[in-house]
Amino acid sequence: MLGRVNHVAIAVPDLAAAAESYRATLGANVTEPQALPEHGVRVVFVTLPNTKVELLEPLGEASPIAAFLAKNPAGGMHHICYEVADIMAARDRLKAAGARVLGDGTPKIGAHGKPVLFLHPKDFHGTLIELEEV
């Protein structure tokens, strides 16, 4: 069911500073910031030869990233995103196996313009998992 790792997401308190750190210190290629109001975040992607790193900051106090940063003020790993060929089939298989899909189970459009779902971290050993249809 799982394809390749699409990205690892890191929550940061200051997106501009984090992007500049990756760009200036690590010499990374960093995309322009993108607001995703439906997800309550602003993101950039660090593009690597084999995957991406997503840096994300909250868009307002209601953002789930704001709650994450309240517990982890310096930021940290937020989730890992895996690619799937058919997000609805993956969702149905996971639900049948007892995994909890966050929200109402309807995929939302993610930063890459493709459907995404999130899986409850308690079902995956403390790791929030995002699935993205490719």
Contact (CB, 8 A) for 108 and 116: yes
- CA separation for the pair 87, 59 (Å, rounded): 26
User: For residues 123, 10, 102 and 70, what is the CA-based torsion angle, rounded to 10 degrees?
Assistant: 100
Active site residue 61: no
**Counting beta carbons within 10 angstroms of the beta carbon of residue 22, is it exposed (0 to 12), middle (13 to 18) or buried (19 or more)?**
middle
Residue 39 carries which DSSP code? T
Q: Which two tokens stand for residue 5?
A: 């790792």
- Pick the catalytic residue from 54, 57, 130, 133: 130
CA-to-CA separations, 128 to 32, 69, 119, in angstroms, rounded: 25, 15, 6
Which residues are marked as active site? Answer: 130
